[in-house]
């Protein structure tokens, strides 16, 4: 009777890790695209 109820964990730890990695990759790619656009705009502005 003194046992505490167990908390249920997310579906699978691997799934949550994959989701986290997918979101991080998406954010990284967006940031890199933005940096590339900024570099291109700066380069065309110099000419």
Residues 16, 10: contact at Cβ < 8 Å? Answer: yes
Q: What φ, ψ does residue 3 adopt, rounded to 5°?
A: -65, 135
What are the structure tokens assigned to 33, written together? 């695209």
What is the tens place of the pLDDT at every residue in 21-47? 999 999 999 999 999 999 999 988 765
Per-residue pLDDT, averaged over 9-21, amounts to: 82
Residues with Cβ within 8 Å of residue 2, at least 6 apart in sequence: none
pTM for this entry: 0.59
């Amino acid at each position: 009777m003194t046992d505490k109820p167990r908390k249920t964990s997310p579906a699978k730890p691997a799934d949550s890790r994959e989701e986290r990695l997918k979101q991080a990759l998406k954010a990284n790619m967006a940031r890199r695209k933005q940096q590339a656009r900024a570099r291109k705009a700066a380069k065309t502005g110099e000419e």
